Amino acid sequence: MIVPIYNGEADLPDLLNCLRSQTYPCDRVEYLLVDNGSHDRTLELLQSAHSADFTLRPLSENHIQSSYAARNTGIRAATGEILAFTDADCRPEPNWLIDLMQPFASATFGLVAGEIKALPGQTLLEQHADRQETLSQKHTLAHRFCPYGQTANLAVRRSAFEQVGLFRPYLTTGGDADLCWRVLRETDWQLHFAETAIVRHRHRATLNELRSQWRRYGKSNRYLHELHGVDLMHELSLPEYRYRLIRWLVKELPIATAKTLIRQAALVDMVSTPIGLICAKARATGQQQAKLPDSAKQIDRLTQDSSKPLTL
């Protein structure tokens, strides 16, 4: 199991507790936690986190600042046939690995995606994201171009990596979709959704965090558009934006306010549309500002001594 970590000092205690709590047999799994050039005490804590409860292998990826490069470091160091991924700010439930591994009993599955649910949140932004199931794999698995699983909760056969290469190490977002699309479109492997294999993740609690999240989604759209030659752009026109805002002011807000007063709705229902418009605007900004660097086209091979990296 592989986790890339950048400045994850605050997340490590809870993450390690979740890993210790896994019901999957501890003698059949190794946990590779890869520090990606952190400036806090992440690497120090990893190196001192040895435990008799499970096999923890701290690693470092200091050459490339990218979670995908860190994952590649973990993949190369791993000894298992099935490689599971999550993130440092995720909290896997105790049966996560057992439920994520079970579908691999079928020889047809090269990819298995588990579900991503929210950790408890208090702010209106967190409540809105929870209502929209922003983090759920159901959205990515229903992608109109090709389904994919997010690396916050994904497992991949080593054989699939051997066939299509690893993650693009210089890509900063969208690498999970890119990998899954290469596997599904270039091989015979299939993708399975393990809905009971659950990790919990925090929603963004502030406007700055929310805008940053949706700008990253926009950048991912642009990068994947350029890498795979498919139209993935999503952008509201100014007339559409104005229409939705006016509709909210004259219709949705009064109705939601009335329902809130009689306790048939919550405060978050009153602001759902403007929050959605903020997200749409941030995504459009990310699409407009993104520029895919040539280095991001590189696909690493599984073995470091390969003659040349793959490129598309």
Looking at the structure of the chain, the number of domains it has is 1
Q: Is residue 248 part of a domain?
A: no
Q: How many other C-beta atoms are found inside a 10 Å radius of the C-beta of residue 151?
A: 25
pLDDT of 309 above 50: no
Do 129 and 213 form a contact (C-beta atoms < 8 A)?
A: no
Q: What percent of the chain has pLDDT over 90?
A: 87
Q: Provide the residue range defining the domain that includes 34.
A: 2-124+133-204+296-311
Tell me the per-residue pLDDT of 210-248, one tens digit each, with 9 for 90 and over.
999 999 999 999 999 999 998 887 788 899 999 999 999
Q: Is residue 290 part of a domain?
A: no
Domain CATH code at residue 7: 3.90.550.10
Tell me the per-residue pLDDT of 137-176, one tens digit each, with 9 for 90 and over.
999 999 989 999 999 999 999 999 999 999 999 999 999 9
* Cα distance between residue 257 and residue 254, in whole Å: 5
Please tell me the predicted confidence (pLDDT) of residue 304: 55
Q: Is residue 46 part of a domain?
A: yes
Task: Identify the CA nearest to 85 among candidates 167, 12, 164.
Answer: 167
Q: Which of 18-32, 82-96, 297-311 has the lowest mean pLDDT?
A: 297-311
Tell me the per-residue pLDDT of 254-285, one tens digit each, with 9 for 90 and over.
999 999 999 998 999 999 999 999 999 999 99
**What mean pLDDT, rounded, does the chain reach?**
93
Q: Is residue 73 part of a domain?
A: yes
Q: Is residue 211 part of a domain?
A: no
Q: Is residue 198 part of a domain?
A: yes
Strand segments, DSSP code E, in the chain are: 2-5, 30-35, 55-60, 82-85, 90-92, 109-118, 154-157, 190-201, 298-299, 310-311
Q: Is residue 267 part of a domain?
A: no
Q: Classify residue 41 as exposed, middle or buried by CB count within 10 Å of its CB (0-12, 13-18, 19+).
A: middle
* 233 vs 181, more confident: 181
Please tell me the predicted confidence (pLDDT) of residue 312: 39
Please tell me the predicted confidence (pLDDT) of residue 198: 98
* Cα distance between residue 281 and residue 271, in whole Å: 16
pLDDT of 5 above 80: yes
- Mean pLDDT in residue range 183-194: 98
* Cα distance between residue 196 and residue 286, in whole Å: 33
- Mean pLDDT in residue range 38-46: 93
Task: Collect all residues with Cβ–Cβ distance below 8 Å to 243 and sequence separation of at least 6.
Answer: none
Q: Is residue 249 part of a domain?
A: no
* Cα distance between residue 223 and residue 179, in whole Å: 13
- Mean pLDDT in residue range 49-64: 86
Give the type of residue at 188.
D
